[in-house]
């Protein structure tokens, strides 16, 4: 669900090489936590309150170093698979979702599961099951090895083929060109995904679209905000972790939209002041799994280097909130 607001949001473009123009920061809005990430992090916090430490979480609850390290300090134990969890213990499934095989493995060990899967990821799982029941070939656009892709593909492995970007299209084979549909990982680049779909449709003209957008509203909105400010930026700094797909995509989107340079950092201390050489306008945003305190740290650093003028660039207003898993709803508030 990309923003309908046009990309011309009234940003004054600085002239290249104009050393008299003031230093400034264009601060993207929206940025940071999406509803699914907020729900997942609060789920772990409430589960800690209810069950105490140690609390087990399969995979990283969200792809952010700061969040994971903070929860680990509070007694969360992150594991790769359910067989690392003691029988009968409580385990939280991450926001990225899991396959039916993981649920079965947890049940076999008598684990008490709390599912923090983002509801928008769950929607894609339901689509995969529906079209598998109808015997479609499902072309899942996403990145090989990503946890969300593994979870979705596990819903119907005999029907799903992974399409990892436009260059993978030529390797796709289907049984019936009249029964083909594409789905996607929720955190992809909107533009690259549509390029992949365009190439798929050139091969399979009757390719069907998903019932609704699979790329999540937050991913689309953050990319739209970056596109709006990038042409005016000498540098775009994206706060986010390297294993965060949506954060990595923001760097790519910034460069593709006209930013002269763009870098991904987890913390303000990773920002290299050498990047500021000849720079008058810096764009700043953060991925959907990034707490705002990390953005504030970068803003403080930029102010120390003369970039104290902060101008918001707003392209959407996000109000969506997801309820907690039912096991924890009574514990909230």
DSSP string, 196-230: HHHHHHHH-TTPBPPSS--S-HHHHHHHHHHHHHG
Distances from the Cα of 261 to the Cα of 14, 53, 233, angstroms = 15, 43, 8
DSSP SS3 for 86: coil
Please enumerate in sequence order all residues whose Cβ is within 8 A of that of 212, keeping only pairs 6 or more positions apart, or say none: 123
Helix H or strand E encompassing 182: strand 180-184
Judge residue 195's burial from the number of C-beta atoms within 10 Å of its C-beta, 0-12 exposed, 13-18 middle, 19 or more buried.
middle
Asked about 148 being catalytic, the answer comes back as: yes
> Which token pair is 230?
């990038």
Given CA atoms 252, 258, 263, 267 in this order, what sign does their dihedral have? Answer: negative
Choosing from 29, 60, 147, 148, which is the catalytic residue? 148
Residue 16's SS3 state is coil
Within 10 Å of residue 327's Cβ, how many Cβ atoms?
A: 17
Query: Phi and psi (nearest 5°) for 272?
Result: -95, 115
Sign of torsion, CA 17 21 25 27?
negative
Q: Which residue, among 317, 248, 232, 230, has the nearest Cα to 287 in the 3D structure? A: 248
3-state secondary structure of 162: strand
Residue 56: HSE in the Cβ half-sphere, 13 Å Cα cutoff: 18
Instruction: List, in order, residues 6 or more apart from 64 with CB less than 8 Å away.
Output: 240, 241, 244, 266, 287, 289, 290, 291
Residues labelled as active-site residues = 148
């Amino acid at each position: 669900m990309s923003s309908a607001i046009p990309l011309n949001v009234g940003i004054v473009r600085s002239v290249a090489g104009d050393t008299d123009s003031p230093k400034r920061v264009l601060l993207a809005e929206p940025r940071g936590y999406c509803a699914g990430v907020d729900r997942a992090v609060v789920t772990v916090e409430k589960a800690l309150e209810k069950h105490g430490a140690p609390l087990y979480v399969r995979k990283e609850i969200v792809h952010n170093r700061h969040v994971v390290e903070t929860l680990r300090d509070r007694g969360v134990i992150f594991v790769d698979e359910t067989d690392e969890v003691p029988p009968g213990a409580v385990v939280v499934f991450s926001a990225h979702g899991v396959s039916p095989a993981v649920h079965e493995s947890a049940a076999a060990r008598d684990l008490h599961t709390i599912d923090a899967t983002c509801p928008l990821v769950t929607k894609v799982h339901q689509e995969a099951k529906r079209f598998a029941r109808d015997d479609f070939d499902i072309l899942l656009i996403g990145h090989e090895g990503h946890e969300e892709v593994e979870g979705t593909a596990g819903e119907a492995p005999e029907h799903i083929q992974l399409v990892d970007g436009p260059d993978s299209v030529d390797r796709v084979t289907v049984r019936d060109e009249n029964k083909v549909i594409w789905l996607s990982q929720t955190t992809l680049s909107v533009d690259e995904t549509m390029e992949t779909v365009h190439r798929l449709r050139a091969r399979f003209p009757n390719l069907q679209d998903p019932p609704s957008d699979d790329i999540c509203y937050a991913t689309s909105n953050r990319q739209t905000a970056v596109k709006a400010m990038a042409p005016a930026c000498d540098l775009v700094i994206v706060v986010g972790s390297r294993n965060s797909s949506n954060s990595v995509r923001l760097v790519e989107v910034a460069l593709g939209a006209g930013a002269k340079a763009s870098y991904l950092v987890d913390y303000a201390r990773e920002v290299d002041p050498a990047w500021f050489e000849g720079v008058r306008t810096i764009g700043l945003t953060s991925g959907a799994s990034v707490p705002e305190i990390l953005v504030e740290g970068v803003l403080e650093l930029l102010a120390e280097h003369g970039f104290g003028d902060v101008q918001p660039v707003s392209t959407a207003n996000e109000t969506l909130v997801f309820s907690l898993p039912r096991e924890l709803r009574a514990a909230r508030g």
